Amino acid sequence: MNHCPLTRTRRRPAAGLLILLGLLPLLCLLIASRKTADYEPPLLRVKLAGLGPTTTVSAPGLQWTAGGRNGRADTVALAWDGKSAAVNGRAVSLPLAFTASGPISVDGYPFRGGIEIAAGPPPIVINVVDVESYVTGVINHEIDSRWPAAAVDAQAVIIRTYAIKRRRERHNGPFDLDRTASDQVYGGQAAEDEASRASVQRTRGRVLTWQGQLALAQYHACCGGRTELPSAVWGGQDQPWQQSVACGHCQDAPRYFWRWPESGAEGARELAAALGLTGEVLSVTVTHKTATGRAGEVEVRTRGDRLTLTGQELRKRIGYDRLWSTSLTVESGPDGFVFRGGGSGHGVGLCQWGARDMALKGLAAEAILRYYYPGAAVELWRGD
């Protein structure tokens, strides 16, 4: 049924009104794009490393400023002897700031934005970079940018949300984010490619929110069929958008099913050694399962010992690349023990292999995010 008022009126509307109505979609588009254009990417302070004895900083037209002094040189040899710093052999006081019109290389690795040496102690090398460039340099460390665009876009929104949330929480500290896996792995310009830049462009400024607040969004490789609650992995309280959802999309993952050892069985003596025990393991029993069926508590018995571990601790002791998840069962036979499981990673939040499948089936990034974080929204970040 057509509800357009223009088809129901018998009088011809004024030409001016027609033109205005015709222009309406264009006006809406202009207003929407202006909102995105108004977005100012916040600057992040990303810790690259502790300051070593020698560091080379270089960029065409590189400028530096320290303690009221400044200089210009395409390459700077920065020395630190544990007490004082020197630039190209001349003593300077920290902090020290480097700027250039393009990326600045630190020991050969290029980073967008500026480089600062914070006084410490101990002094640290910091990349001051806008969040969009940061996300571009993270995507390929957390997902493959060659995956379907909607899955990469969902990941980009999560990376941006995490970064801005940490920036707010750590604004009194010396830096907002560490470039390692303790936050998100950031490779600077060297980690960028066309696909990661395109994803950041498509999702520019978009963050995951719950009732207008930034929503922390965990993710993992493959849930094995159902995602896990954060409280089951790390304790604490689950947030409203942190729910366990049936996935059913990640069967293509290489570790949807896994077995350890890959063939045969792990001997009772070898398993004891892997767990930090002496003698031989007599039994391994899952004594408590989480609400989603993962191993919450495991009891290991040897002849003279009984060890109770959380499922997470069991994975840690035996190895994250042996027990790929806590969704596991244990069998014992004359040759030893066999662990069989499903999925890889902690299982909380977005399942990357599930997101990949949903993207292949045509779902948009926002639909994928709303599936794994029920009730959350994707919005343009509007500032602190």
**Residues at the interface with Zn ion (CB under 5 A):** 223, 247, 250, 351, 354
Q: What is the number of residues in the chain?
A: 384
State which residue, 47 or 249, has the beta carbon closest to Zn ion: 249
Q: Which is nearer to Zn ion, 165 or 226 (CB)?
A: 226
Which residue, 311 or 354, is less far from Zn ion as judged by CB?
354
Q: 124-160 as b/e, with b when 16 or more CB fall inside 10 Å?
A: bbbbbbebbbbbbbbbbbbbebebbbbbbbbbbbbbb
Nearest-angstrom CA–CA distance, 381 and 67:
35
Q: Minimum distance between the CB of residue 143 and Zn ion, rounded to whole angstroms?
A: 14
The CB-of-353 to Zn ion minimum distance in angstroms stands at: 6
Return d(Cα 216, Cα 187) in angstroms, integer: 22
Q: Which is nearer to Zn ion, 76 or 376 (CB)?
A: 376
User: Judged by CB, which is closer to Zn ion: 204, or 370?
Assistant: 370
Question: Taking the complex as a whole, how short is the minimal distance between the CB of residue 242 and Zn ion, in angstroms?
Answer: 16
Contact 347, 233 (CB under 8 A): yes
Nearest to Zn ion of 44, 223 (CB atom): 223
Q: Minimum distance from CB of 233 to Zn ion (Å)?
A: 15
**Given the structure tokens 């950041």, which residue do they identify?**
200
Shortest Cβ 144–Zn ion spacing (Å): 17
The SS3 call for residue 211 is coil
**CB 345 → Zn ion: shortest distance, Å?**
10
Q: Residue 28: CB partners within 8 Å, gap ≥ 6?
A: none
102: how many CB neighbours lie within 10 A of its CB?
12
Complex with Zn ion: residue 156 or 223, whichever CB lies closer: 223
Residue 347 Cβ, how far from Zn ion at the closest point, in Å? 8
Q: How far is the CB of 344 from Zn ion (least distance, A)?
A: 10
Give, in order, the Cα–Cα distances in Å from 339 to each of 90, 103, 210, 325, 330: 61, 48, 38, 11, 5
292: Cα separation from own chain's centroid: 24
Q: Is the preceding omega at residue 103 within 30 degrees of 0, hence cis?
A: no
Helix (H) or strand (E) holding 119: none
Give me the half-sphere count of Cα atoms (radius 13 Å) on the Cβ side of residue 36.
15
Q: Which is nearer to Zn ion, 166 or 356 (CB)?
A: 356
